[in-house]
Amino acid sequence: MNFEFDFGGAAVDPLWEAGLDVVRTLEARGYQAYLVGGCVRDRLMGRKLNDIDIATSAKPDEVMRTFPRTIPTGIKHGTITVMENGIPFEVTTFRRESDYSDGRRPDEVAFVDDLQEDLARRDFTFNAMAFGSDGEIVDPFGGQDALRAGVVQCVGDAEERFGEDALRMLRAVRFAAEFGFEPLPDVWEAILRHRAKLSQVAVERVCAEWDKLMAGSGPEQGCHYLFKSGLLGYVKESLPAGVLHAAERYRLNGTGWEWDAWGSGEAVGGQGASLPPLPLYADVDVRWTALLCGIGVSSADAAELFRTLRMSGKRTDRVCSAVGLHERMAGCPEDERYEQWVLGVLDFGTAAAEDWLTATESVDIELTDLCRGWLQNIPITEVSALDVRGDELVKELGRSPGPWIAEMLRGLLEAVAFGVIANIKAELLDAAKQWLADADGRKA
């Protein structure tokens, strides 16, 4: 890593400058104030800033008196959200934390006047830096050195940091993956020793970290650390067996997975001891699809995983549909591939098909080109696109409404999708009459 750390030569960032204006406003009232944490780290690394955190000697009530628009978002712990020109800034009083009986939150928070004492409570050295309006970086724990070395290093003793807040273990994994860093040996060993404490962390917070990891720039490396550490086995609510089995298999012997969508026994793009490739150009749900398909998780286990992690129903349905399509294709004999692909698209939808194609195309372009061509040639993929409605079938066939309508519409959809008949009302009705006559004939 080679960071020049030249703030003066860096491009002007409106968000950064707006944060410094908040700092200067506090200083004009006689308080100390600094930009702190992730924004300083990201500015040093030349990364895009998403938000600005500010630490100050001003007490919460003093911060609220200083700015016209404030929100007491975390006043108990000293945090006030300051709204300036529509931009939120979290402004937190210098504080000291002590005792973490639940392994997650401090039992006691005390406001202090010393910036370094405030920085000492933070998790990693590259998150324990501050920047003042004078242009100076306050870096008492070697955060810049950690960035240069490309390592994840805890502030002080890693055992203590993870003992205080078990979520920090997942954050260590996420930062390592996102930045392409390596956890220092003491950090990794502390994760292994304290991983059981992850059971003290709410599932929602675990989900947030894992999801950020999947959305970041190093999801495969992040999943490598998750699996190798064994952390997933200690989530507060047990993850589905299929997921835990895959993670344990990887942890114990480093065996990776190989895409084999057709079940031929011959790997499509062998992955050795690595995880399935997760397409970085795709959105996070397609990456989840690639991971779950690649490690052989069933659609049922995928649904249970997302429910356990409190993912939204919309996201769950999307990923599980693509995973379900993958299940349909896995183990498919060569002479049935086209038929199963078309039926899979009808069952799970074109959106699921596109997600699956994106998830797999970095592994086997020939495979995805074949399926994409088939997808483009399917005339229709939904019953609603048929040129006949259920009430028209009832009228034309002279039968009472019932479950047979849905069955017949599905049959007509398949016939059109496979090109057996055209999607023309007259042909559809003729086909329906013929099927009904054939059914009556079989009964006779």
Determine the Cα–Cα distance for residues 415 and 339; give it in Å rounded to an integer.
12
Same domain for 4 and 85, yes or no, is yes
Q: Supply the DSSP symbol for 84.
A: E
Q: Which of 335, 359, 378 is the last residue of a domain?
A: 378
Same domain, yes or no: 212 and 261? no
Q: Does residue 423 share a domain with residue 391?
A: yes
3-state secondary structure of 440: helix
Which residue, of 378, 404, 431, is where some domain finishes?
Answer: 378
CATH number, domain with residue 37: 3.30.460.10
Same domain, yes or no: 316 and 260: yes
Residue pair 280/222 in contact by the 8 Å Cβ criterion? no
User: What is the SS3 assignment for 268?
Assistant: strand
Query: Half-sphere exposure of 233 toward its Cβ, with a 13 Å CA cutoff?
Result: 17
Q: Give pLDDT tens digits for 250-297.
A: 888 765 666 666 654 444 443 444 678 899 999 999 999 999 998 989
Number of structural domains, the chain? Answer: 4
Cβ atoms < 10 Å from Cβ of 165: 20
My answer on whether 354 and 418 are in the same domain is no
Looking at the fold, whether 289 and 172 belong to one and the same domain comes out as: no
Which of 181, 199, 231 is the endpoint of a domain? Answer: 231
Task: Find out whether 332 and 340 touch, Cβ atoms under 8 Å.
Answer: yes
Taking the C-alpha atoms of residue 356 and residue 348, their distance in angstroms, rounded to an integer, is: 11
CATH code at position 394: 1.10.246.80
Please report, to the nearest 10 degrees, the dihedral formed by the alpha carbons of residues 95, 98, 101, 102 taken in order.
Answer: 20
Together in a domain, 227 and 253 = no
Query: What burial letters (b/e) apply to 389-416, b meaning 16+ CB within 10 Å?
Result: eeeebeebbeeeeeebbeebbeebbebb
Both 2 and 132 in one domain: the answer is: yes
What is the rounded distance in angstroms from the CA atom of residue 52 to the CA atom of residue 91? 9
Residues 124 and 158 sit within 8 Å (Cβ to Cβ): no
> Same domain for 67 and 88?
yes
Question: How far lies 221's CA from each of 174, 225, 251, in Å?
Answer: 9, 6, 13
The answer for residues whose C-beta is within 8 angstroms of residue 124's C-beta and 6 or more apart is 143, 146, 152, 153, 154, 155, 171, 172, 175
**Which residues, including other chains, have CB under 8 Å from residue 130's CB and lie 6 or more apart?**
34, 35, 36, 40, 55, 115, 119, 137, 138, 139
414 in the same domain as 349: no
99 shares a domain with 10: yes
Question: What is the spatial distance between Cα 341 and Cα 326, in angstroms, rounded to a whole number?
Answer: 10
Shared-domain flag, residues 263 and 226:
no
CA angle 329, 213, 158 (to 5 degrees): 135
- Show pLDDT as tens, one digit a residue, over the chain (444 residues): 445 555 555 678 999 999 999 999 999 999 999 999 999 999 999 999 999 999 999 999 999 999 999 999 988 889 999 999 899 999 999 998 766 555 556 667 889 999 999 999 999 999 999 999 999 999 999 999 999 999 999 999 999 999 999 999 999 999 999 999 999 999 999 999 999 999 999 999 999 999 999 999 999 999 999 999 999 999 999 999 999 998 988 888 765 666 666 654 444 443 444 678 899 999 999 999 999 998 989 999 999 999 999 999 999 999 999 999 999 988 788 889 999 999 999 999 999 999 999 998 888 788 889 999 999 999 999 999 999 999 999 999 999 999 999 999 999 999 999 999 999 999 999 999 998 887 766 665
Per-residue model confidence as pLDDT tens digits over 177-213: 999 999 999 999 999 999 999 999 999 999 999 999 9
CATH code of the domain in which 213 resides = 1.10.110.30
Q: Which residues contact 381 (CB under 8 A, 6 or more apart)?
A: 345, 346, 349, 350, 417
Query: 59 lies in which domain range?
Result: 1-141
